[in-house]
Structure 1
């Protein structure tokens, strides 16, 4: 858990599966903002994606993130939203974490698409007062304008065009994940037979 007066980033996601883009973002944000840690927070029920496609069980996604972060200093897997259950809303996560750790300064890490949709998030008016929001900028891409009244900082991170949907397709079609996904995550996918591993 965070130590006194820590600065902790929250990089939330479905992580289905986690990949090098997620890890590079977490490492860069931690370094640039001098954070004590960045938690990769695994959504229990990602409200923006439920119903759009099958979602891998949360316990499997958490296991993959634990493997992905195991040997990276300053990155940690978090199952806080899984422990709470139900739909995963950032506002609920921040309320719970601020209550449990009032000494911690929290930073929520967002990509451009997520930042643009912030006003539509659950209890957005309350959310704006709970954390500083880290807007991840990709080199060569325009930086979106954050909503007025939100505390924002910008961090430029390496542009790695890797998507979880593409990786799931690669597994289903028997194509390699090497380099795109950490080796321990690949081993986890194989052991749990995720995404149709071994069916092609």
Structure 2
């Protein structure tokens, strides 16, 4: 069952041991689909993680102005519904609660405060890996996290620039497009298999992606 991100347990608290190997997989998740969850599960298994956080972007700076973004709370509800199906995978609203534009450096700093002894592993697609030096405060990202590079269907091969600590993890390269899924939802085409049923329930229950004439 997915849990929201919380502070580490204090002395005497009757809580589980704090995670020591944490995966951080950020995204717009508009909507989250089987490709996202397959990546999360496979990275968690390959790297023996204690926790894999699906971090919902509050305001993804790289997509602002390119298209309408589904409200953050709706995207979080979809991710939480899907994450609940997979062991070790958890929805995180850390960026929603912080507000403002979404930057990995800020998120990693906050996670370091919450989990001071944990190893952090930041998942990035191979299509973005070679551009890490252009991110906001790349020195902070480089210092706080090991980069986990996963190939995306049709966009394989990219790696971080020299000086970055990274590993590559082979994950299923499922050709699933969020933009195609939004189009399918808008016209009422089936989403089964491409999106977990629990996420589809959220989409239908909140009337997300439907055309409003």
Distance 1:93 1:169, change over 3 A: same
Is residue 138–residue 156 contact of structure 1 (8 Å, CA) maintained in 2? no
Question: How much has 1:138 moved relative to structure 2?
Answer: 5.0
Other structure's SS at 1:77 match: strand
Structure 1 stretches of 5 or more lacking a match?
none
- Encode CA deviations 1:72-121: one digit per residue, 9 max, x unaligned: 10100000000000001000001111012101110000111221221111
Question: How much has 1:137 moved relative to structure 2?
Answer: 2.9
Distance 1:86 1:162, change over 3 A: same
Is residue 139–residue 156 contact of structure 1 (8 Å, CA) maintained in 2? no
Is residue 68–residue 185 contact of structure 1 (8 Å, CA) maintained in 2? yes
Distance 1:141 1:189, change over 3 A: closer
Q: CA RMSD in A?
A: 1.7
Moved over 2 A (4+): 1-5, 137-142
Query: Aligned runs of 1:20-39 on 2, under 5 Å?
Result: 20-39=34-53
Counterpart in the other structure of 2:119 = 105
Structure 2 stretches of 5 or more lacking a match?
1-5, 9-16
- The number of equivalent residue pairs is 199
Question: How much has 1:5 moved relative to structure 2?
Answer: 5.6
Q: Normalised by the size of structure 1, how large is the TM-score? A: 0.94
Q: Normalised by the size of structure 2, how large is the TM-score? A: 0.89
Residue of structure 2 aligned with 1:191, choices 196, 200, 205: 205
Distance 1:159 1:5, change over 3 A: closer
